[in-house]
């Protein structure tokens, strides 16, 4: 990208980094932000760190939760040249594959090794790790001093979503995505082999018929219908989207069902609901039919990679990543198609600001320098684009007029994706595509999304302290059993095992937990009426 363009865009970002949706560039996909926490006028765009001492050279260790891109080393070298010049610092970067998160993430935080930045988010047990004292509290004074650009531009509502007992423990992204939702991608060569055309896959039941039809019939060729893992599975398609559920986002495992609760007045605990029982029985049916291999629980490979390697006939991912991914997949000779199988009446809720972000471990020996580096990565345009997208012309093609990207010739070696860094901002480019199915799915979600004013819980965070003992038991039980339910591992005993699971949760204090949850919810609604 030409330097003049980069400078202009960097200036625009610094002055206007207010929240809007990360969807298409139409007004209907944008979200109001509210006031920012700071004033960009007080930040020197030429040297925002002029008052900070960066004389000592430091090496900062950072962990991301994602599969490491093939060209990461080359890109990191270039990014480090910019970080070294600006801050006298370098990044040492490590990856925790998503499929290995539950095992490796706690080990990294408990290992006692030097660590300065780590990816986090509400779906990555952010509050749970705060309660374990894994993350450093980030006071407003600390943020103003060491992250002046981020503090000046993030809306107050973004920081409010990070609160745990009124305190900040992560730096959220600068945008709340409109389209966090996912859809299934199907290898149509395999689907057509078993008599399915694109017109035959319109609902979840159609999709289920496809999976059962393929079953393990391709296993001799090294392929399964849906080769997955304990953490990458059909749960979002199988219950969240199928039953039109919305996560409260204030805590884990509490949902609303839009199909019979359009005003979000009746929260319920997911795992004790009849909907989850129906889902678990469905997963057992899939497992019995050989939709995935019996050892899937130990699979650590990315399901999208398995699809591209022709080991899985189906995968799924959010639409944003899917746009660039599907083109790269087709270039490998795979006839991939996206299917919108959301039920009638489905409505998408925008993701929270804390869907992705970065935390500073409580044991970091260089928290100030880590914060400064994160501020630079999030706000220096050229460094940001390097880490998010790789090299322009090789990994992506940028269209300045529409702020969109398309695949470069080496897109498969570095997919444009800022979430893994916890640095995504409102100017994050949207992938350009002529794929009619993807554009139609995005249009569908854009037109039916829940408006901000319809969702009464923005800013609500659950305080676990009054039920900390109960929550420790509940979360441990969910961790112990959910992976097996997700992969149908209980087989014909699924219904009985679910009943036992529910009883264990109740014995562990679930009723007290939900009573406290509803108490805090009611107090929040009354205070914000």
User: Tokens 């009464």 belong to which residue?
Assistant: 456
Looking at residues 476-499, what average pLDDT do you find? 94
Chain segment 501-513, per-residue pLDDT in tens:
999 999 999 999 9
Report the share of the chain in percent with pLDDT over 70.
Answer: 88
Q: Residue 511: exposed, middle, or buried by beta-carbon count in 10 A (0-12, 13-18, 19+)?
A: middle
Residue 145 phi, psi (nearest 5): -75, -45
Region of 509 please: left (phi>0), alpha (psi -120 to 50) or beta.
Answer: left
pLDDT at site 26: 28
Chain segment 364-378, per-residue pLDDT in tens:
999 999 999 999 999
Report the share of the chain in percent with pLDDT over 90.
Answer: 49
Residue 95 DSSP class: E
Give Cα separations from 294 to 122, 214, 400 (angstroms). 30, 16, 48
Range in 33-37, 151-155, 231-235, 270-274 with the lowest mean pLDDT: 33-37
Q: What is the pTM of this model?
A: 0.71
More confident position, 33 or 193: 193
Residue 416 DSSP class: -
Q: Which ranges of 352-467 does DSSP label H, i.e. alpha helix?
A: 367-379, 381-389, 436-448
More confident position, 190 or 316: 190
Helix (H) or strand (E) holding 405: strand 404-407
Q: Quick check: 464 pLDDT over 90?
A: no
pLDDT at site 180: 53
| Measured distance CA(441)–CA(343) in Å, rounded | 12
- Name the maximum alpha-carbon separation found in the chain: 67
Architecture of domain 3-178+352-431: 3-Layer(aba) Sandwich (3.40)
Looking at residues 202-226, what average pLDDT do you find? 93
Q: Secondary structure of 281-304 in the HEC alphabet?
A: HHHHHHHHCCCCCCCHHHCCCCHH
Looking at residues 222-247, what average pLDDT do you find? 81
Helix (H, G, I), strand (E, B) or coil at 454: helix
Please report, for the chain, the start and end positions of each structural domain, with discontinuous segments joined by +.
3-178+352-431
Helix (H) or strand (E) holding 96: strand 89-96
């Amino acid at each position: 990208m030409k330097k003049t363009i980069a400078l202009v865009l960097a200036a625009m970002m610094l002055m206007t980094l207010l929240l809007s949706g990360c969807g298409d560039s139409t007004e209907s996909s944008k979200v109001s932000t509210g006031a920012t926490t700071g004033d960009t006028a007080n930040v020197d765009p030429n040297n925002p760190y002029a008052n900070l001492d960066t004389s000592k050279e430091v090496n900062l260790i950072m962990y991301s939760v994602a599969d490491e891109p093939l060209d990461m080393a080359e890109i990191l070298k270039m990014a480090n040249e910019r970080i070294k010049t600006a801050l006298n610092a370098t990044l040492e970067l490590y990856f925790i594959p998503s499929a290995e998160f539950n095992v490796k993430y706690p080990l990294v935080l408990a290992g006692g090794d030097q660590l300065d930045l780590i990816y986090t988010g509400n779906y990555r047990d952010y509050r749970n790790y705060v309660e374990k004292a894994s993350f450093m509290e980030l006071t407003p004074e600390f943020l103003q001093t060491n992250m002046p650009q981020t503090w000046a531009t993030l809306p107050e509502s973004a920081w409010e979503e990070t609160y745990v007992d009124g305190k900040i423990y992560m730096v959220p992204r600068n945008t709340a995505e409109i389209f966090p939702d996912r859809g299934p991608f199907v290898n149509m060569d395999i689907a057509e082999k078993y008599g399915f055309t694109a017109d035959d896959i319109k609902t979840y039941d159609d999709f289920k018929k496809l999976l059962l039809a393929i079953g393990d019939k391709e296993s001799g060729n090294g392929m399964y219908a849906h080769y997955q893992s304990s953490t990458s599975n059909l749960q979002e398609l199988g219950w969240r989207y199928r039953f039109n559920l919305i996560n409260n986002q204030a805590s884990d495992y509490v949902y609303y069902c839009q199909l019979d609760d359009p005003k979000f007045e009746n929260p319920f605990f997911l795992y004790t609901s009849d909907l989850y029982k129906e889902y678990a029985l469905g997963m057992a049916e899939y497992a019995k039919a050989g939709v995935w291999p019996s050892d899937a629980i130990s699979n650590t490979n990315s399901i999208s990679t398995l699809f591209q390697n022709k080991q899985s006939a189906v995968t799924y991912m959010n639409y944003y990543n899917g746009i660039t991914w599907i083109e790269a997949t087709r270039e490998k000779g795979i006839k991939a198609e996206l299917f919108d199988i959301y039920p009638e009446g489905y409505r998408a809720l925008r993701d929270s600001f804390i869907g992705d972000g970065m935390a500073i471990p409580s044991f970091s020996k260089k928290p100030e320098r880590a914060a400064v580096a994160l501020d630079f990565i999030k706000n220096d345009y050229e460094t940001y684009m390097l880490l998010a997208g790789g090299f322009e012309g090789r990994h992506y093609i940028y269209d300045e007029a529409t702020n969109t990207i398309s695949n470069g010739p080496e897109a498969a070696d570095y997919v444009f994706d800022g979430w893994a860094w916890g640095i995504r901002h409102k100017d994050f480019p949207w992938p350009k595509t002529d794929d009619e199915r993807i554009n139609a799915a995005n249009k569908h979600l854009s037109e039916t999304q829940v408006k901000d004013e319809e969702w009464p819980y923005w800013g609500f965070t659950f305080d676990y302290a009054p039920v900390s003992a109960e929550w420790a038991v509940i979360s441990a039980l969910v961790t112990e059993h959910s992976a097996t339910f997700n992969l149908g591992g209980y087989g014909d005993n699924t219904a009985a095992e679910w009943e036992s699971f529910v009883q264990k949760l109740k014995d562990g204090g679930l009723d007290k937990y939900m009573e406290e949850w509803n108490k805090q919810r009611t107090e929040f609604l009354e205070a914000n009426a």
